[in-house]
Structure 1
C-alpha cells in the first residue's frame, strides 16, 4: 500500500534570528545517522520526527528548523549515506552503452553502500511511494533506478535508439537483477554489467518502438504501477 502523503509543511517553528547560533554540521550528521538507522530497521514508514528526536536526544523543534517534512529529512539522510556521490550528478559518457554502464554502476554502489533494508527502500520507493521516488531522483540526482530522459534523448540524437524509445525495459530489469544479486551476495562487476547491457538492456530498449503496444506498462521502479489485491494473487494459476 502507498504510504500516506506527508504534510505539506511542519508546524511552524520560531524563526531563528540572524544573530543565532550557526548550524552545527556535526550534529546534523549525527541526526541523519539516526534517520538512516530507522530506515534500515523499519523502512520509510518507521521514520517519524518523534522517534528521530528521541533517539538523537534532540527536540522536534531542532528537526523542524532543518527539515519541514519527513520526506525532506529522509532524502537528506539518503544524500548523506547510500546516495552520496563525489562526482557530478549528470550521466553523459558520449554513448548509450557507456551511459547505461554508468547508471548500473551508480545503482550498484548505492545499494552496496548501505544495508539490505536501505537498498530495498531506494528501489521499492517506486512501488510503495512513487512520489517519494520522484523526489529522490529530483533532489539526489539520477540513482540508476530510472533511465533519465536526457540519456534517451542523447541516444536518439546519436542514432543509437529509434525515436520514441521507452525506458520501461531498463527500469523494470536493471534494478530488479542488481537487487537480486545484492541480496544473494553476488558480484555485479564490469563483465557482468556489460553482458547485461549488451544482451538484454540495449536490445530491449530498441525493441520498445516496434512493440504493438502504444504505451508501455508502468514499471516497478517508475510510473505508478497498480498493485493487485492479495486474494487475486492467491487465485492466479
Structure 2
C-alpha cells in the first residue's frame, strides 16, 4: 500500500502579513524599543525561529515592515521635473504620502527612533527608496547646473523645516495640499537654500538629515 510521504508543517501563507501588522502596531504603541522578536512572535502567533529565518536583526525586520506598510507607495525613481521648484514640490508630496501612510503616533515614534539611531534613518532611506525627508545632493547639483542656485548651497533649510512642518500637520490633522506646499517652498525653503550659500561657517545638520548628532555639538565661538 503506497503512502504519501509525510510533510512538515504547512506553510503559513499569511504569516508575513501578520508579522508586518504586528511590527507596525508595536511601533505605534510602544515605539522602536518596544519592537522585539519575542513581542512580535507573541502578537502574530508565530515562533521566534520563524522570524529569525527571515531577519537576523530587529532593524531589518522593522525596515521590512515599514516598506510593506507606511512606505509601500514609495518609489526609488529619481525626481526630475526640469525645475528646482517642481522637484521640491514632488519631494514634499512624497514625504507627505509617507507620513500619512502611518498613523501619527507611529510617525512620531519613527522620528524619535531615527534621532537615537542615525543608521536606522540611513537604512530606511536605502531600503524603501527616498522618503522625501532629505534633499538629494543630485537635486541641488542639477539646480546649480541650470543656474537656479548659486554654488555652495546646503540642504539644512529643507531637512530641518519641511519634515518637521509636515509631521506636525499630520499629527494635528491639518490640510496639506499643493497650495500649502507651494507656499512652504516659495516663502521658506527656496529663500533658505539661497541663504545657505552665503552662510559663514558650517551649518548644523537638519533634524531629518540622518545625522542629528551634529545638532548637539557646541556652536563655534563667534
Interval containing the TM-score (normalised by the shorter chain): 0.7 to 0.9
**1:105 maps onto 2:93 in alignment:** yes
**1:85 maps onto 2:73 in alignment:** yes
Q: TM-score, normalised by structure 2?
A: 0.87
Aligned to 1:179: 167
**Structure 1 pair 192/72, CA: closer, same or farther in 2 (3 Å)?**
same
The alpha carbon displacement at 1:24 in A equals 5.5
Q: TM-score, normalised by structure 1?
A: 0.81
Number of residue pairs the alignment of both structures matches: 209
The alpha carbon displacement at 1:86 in A equals 6.0
Matched ranges for 1:31-42 at <5 A = 31-42=19-30
Q: Please list every run of 5 or more consecutive structure 1 residues that lacks an aligned counterpart in the other structure.
A: 1-19, 229-237
Q: Please list every run of 5 or more consecutive structure 2 residues that lacks an aligned counterpart in the other structure.
A: 1-7, 217-222
CA distance in 2, matches of 1:47, 1:171: 27
**Structure 1 pair 23/200, CA: closer, same or farther in 2 (3 Å)?**
farther
Root-mean-square deviation (CA, aligned residues, Å) is 2.1
**1:168 maps onto 2:159 in alignment:** no
1:186-206 CA-to-partner distances (Å, cap 9, x unmatched) read: 101110000100111011111
CA distance in 1, matches of 2:89, 2:145: 19
Aligned to 2:220: none
CA distance in 1, matches of 2:109, 2:77: 20
The equivalent position to 2:176 in structure 1, one of 184, 188, 202, is 188
Q: Secondary structure at the match of 1:66?
A: coil
Aligned to 2:208: 221
